[in-house]
Amino acid sequence: MIKKVAVCVTKQKTCERLIKRGSKIAGKNGDLYVLHVTGKELATVNCDVIQHLFDVSKKYGAQMSIIHSNNVFEAVNDFIYDNDINRIVLGESLEASSKTDMTFTISDNIPKGVKPVVVPVEYNYWDQDVV
Which domain range does residue 90 map to?
A: 4-121
DSSP string, 79-122: HHHHHT--EEEEEPP--SSTTT-HHHHHHHHSPTTPEEEEEPPP
Number of domains in the chain: 1
* Cα–Cα dist 74/127, whole Å: 35
- 54-99 pLDDT, tens digit per residue, is 999 999 999 999 999 999 889 999 999 999 999 999 998 766 655 5
The pTM of this model reads: 0.84
* Arithmetic mean of pLDDT over the chain: 85
Q: Is residue 45 part of a domain?
A: yes
pLDDT at 107 over 80: yes
Radius of gyration of the chain (CA): 15
Q: Is residue 127 part of a domain?
A: no
Top pLDDT among 39 and 131 is at 39
Q: Is residue 62 part of a domain?
A: yes
Q: Is residue 128 part of a domain?
A: no
